[in-house]
Amino acid sequence: MNPPDQPEAGEGERLQKVLARAGIGSRRACEEMISAGRVLVNGQPVELGRRVDPANDRIDVDGVPVATRPGLVYYLINKPAGVVTTSADPQGRPTVVELVPGEPRVFPVGRLDAATEGLLLLTNDGELSFRLTHPSFGVEKEYLAHVEGHPKDGVVRLLRRGVELDDGPTAPARVSLAGADVLRITIHEGRNRQVRRMAEAVGHPVRRLVRTRIGPLRVGTLKPGEWRTLTQDEVRALERATASNPGSSRLARRASRQPAPPRVRS
């Protein structure tokens, strides 16, 4: 009798076929990975010939979860100022979901406030969305903050160490001058309007804020309002960037049914 989490013989799809379709490698290469013990299904090592249910089984390669559920899509957009990061807006303002195809339904990964521009991901992959936004995974977000005044080296050092906000001190950040009045700030926390509050706390309120990077992904040459589909390699890069907290995998699977509306992160 097969274990409860393993499909009966003839049910499901062969594991190597599922992995190849997810962009892990050729079917032969995936067979070699399975034989070498590099693939886990629901946390357990498997043998060649294993069949899986892509919609329900968790598959990891080299400790990194693989998105195998059918119908998953991933969009990268350059959000313009004035567009809100919601699925619908009671005030009738334009929303980010109106910038991408309507089907399948997708959700923003984290939020940028209406005035903030730049890189935003939208997907129907709830588990990856959870991993990208939950602070325990520490995924970096990089911003260019055009500020009032001309920050000096002492301000940069203070931001790097962390500044006191009304909800507690910020974690150390990567900060550098990208221009006389432009700060490049990289954080991994994700508090409400954090970058704006950090800049204001050191006496340099933000005039314009642009997010340029999430983990390994950069906004690139996309113009405001433009979008593109992520490549399989880019999806895998995001999966690797969020594989550092395996203890949260149970919570991530619970979140995978549908991404919850996240808090404002800029």
Is residue 34 within 8 A of residue 20, CB to CB? The reply is no
Q: Give the catalytic positions in this structure.
A: 113
Rounded to whole angstroms, the Cα distance separating 140 from 213 reads 8
141 residue type, one letter: K
The total of other beta-carbon atoms located within 10 Å of residue 179's CB is 12
* C-alpha distances out from residue 39 to 6, 59, 166, 191, Å: 15, 7, 45, 35
Helix ranges (H only) for 14-143 are 15-21, 27-35, 126-133
Tokens matching residue 29: 């290469």
Tokens 């959000």 identify what position? Answer: 79
Give the 3-state secondary structure of residue 153: helix
174 residue type, one letter: R
Query: How many angstroms from the chain centroid is the CA of residue 117?
Result: 17
Tokens matching residue 156: 């940069």
Is residue 168 within 8 A of residue 176, CB to CB? The reply is no
